[in-house]
Structure 1
Amino acid sequence: MKLKHAKTAFTIFFLVILGGFLFIWLEKEMAFREELEKRPLPSGLHPIVEEKRDQLVAQAAEIGIDIIITDGYRSPEEQADLHSQGRSTPGSIVTHAEAGESYHNYGLAIDYALRFDDGSVVWDITRDGNGNGESDWFEVAAIGKKLGFDWGGDWQRFKDYPHLEMTFGLSIRELQQGWRPEDKME
């Protein structure tokens, strides 16, 4: 009989200790989550994305393709304006992402276009300006992918040919919750 009471007492003791540890862990987790949610949105491109953007422009130039970065970091207000285009304001729909739903809003995406010698810009994905028999657009996308970008032209549902992004393994939901690439990188 004493053994049965000892086992019960030990089980209760163990559960109380475990409960205490869980309580402490939960408190720390909740405080961390609250701190994440208070983090402001970035106000520019992530330094690694900025560096890779510059390498993209330089490497494209090395093979005779002049590109211009048409967009990088985008504020929530700019994203909302773009999202309204083709819906509640004139123009074509250019994005399906509302404010806070684009990697641009977190400084993790860029858009590019081809530039002519006269400075004019074109979004012609078939153009072969460097005369090597390949689409300049796809050559730039390939460079971007080698640099670590994901390319919107590879997406299944909505092909976003000008778009390159670095997610650092973070989903939009995680970014909305306050996670930043530095939090997940080792």
Structure 2
Amino acid sequence: MIAAAMLTSRYEQIGRLLPFVKKDVPPITSLHPIVAEKQAELVAEAAKLDIDVVITDGFRSHEEQNALYEKGRTTSGPVVTHVRGGGSYHNYGLAIDFALKTSKGQIIWDLEYDGNRNGEADWMEVVAIAKRLGFSWGGDWKDFKDYPHLQMDFGFSIQELMRGYRPPETAAATRS
């Protein structure tokens, strides 16, 4: 059994490297369990600092992604994404977007707002918490800065995800 488990694991690793190997997997319909858990921790940790975090987006279907892609192109509004359906970590339940809620209940995307009045921007305090929890931040991207975006890719590229490879659903399995 141990040899079979090792062989299966090795096949999975090799398959991820080969661009023609695809897996037949069920469609994704929600956030990855670890991402959902870390999202809840993010909101709770921020609340301890008197920062009200609002999750504005999580799992996004390919159709929803395509509709967002059309904004600023074939529909009115500014361009909000550079990828079509299947090209976003949101489409695999591995990303969330956030905003801040002011004491007056207003939802804002202000990177300099200091609602808890501790001399630090609340946005950057949330980003620091997110990074500590294992998220990467779209504000660190070199080209298109996506300041509300947080993701956990677990070492999987979009191409691997498109081919059916998925991160394990438990933290213990991601460490092995």
From 63, 67, 70, the equivalent of 2:53 is 67
Structure 2 match to 1:150: 136
Two-structure CA RMSD over aligned residues (Å): 1.8
Q: CA deviation at 1:42?
A: 1.0
From 145, 161, 164, the equivalent of 1:178 is 164
CA distance in 2, matches of 1:40, 1:90: 34
Moved over 4 A (4+): none
Please identify the structure whose Cα radius of gyration is greater: 1
Q: As a proportion of its length, which structure holds more helix? A: 1
Determine helix, strand or coil for the equivalent of 2:139.
helix
For residues 68-89 of structure 1, the C-alpha deviation after alignment (integer angstroms, 9 at most, x for no partner) is 0000000000000001001110
Q: Normalising by the residue count of structure 1, what TM-score does the alignment of the two structures yield?
A: 0.79
Structure 2 match to 1:7: none
Structure 2: runs of 5 or more not aligned: 1-10
From 67, 80, 85, the equivalent of 2:71 is 85
Structure 1: runs of 5 or more not aligned: 1-24
Q: CA deviation at 1:117?
A: 2.8
Q: CA deviation at 1:54?
A: 0.2
Structure 2 match to 1:22: none
Residue 121 of structure 2 corresponds to residue 131 of structure 1:
no
| Larger RCO (alpha carbons 8 Å, 6+ apart) | 2
Residue 89 of structure 2 corresponds to residue 96 of structure 1:
no
Structure 1 match to 2:154: 168
Instruction: Check whether the contact 1:65–1:114 (CA below 8 A) recurs between aligned residues.
Output: yes
Q: Normalising by the residue count of structure 2, what TM-score does the alignment of the two structures yield?
A: 0.83
CA distance in 1, matches of 2:149, 2:27: 20
Instruction: Check whether the contact 1:41–1:105 (CA below 8 A) recurs between aligned residues.
Output: no
Determine helix, strand or coil for the equivalent of 2:54.
strand
Structure 2 match to 1:15: none
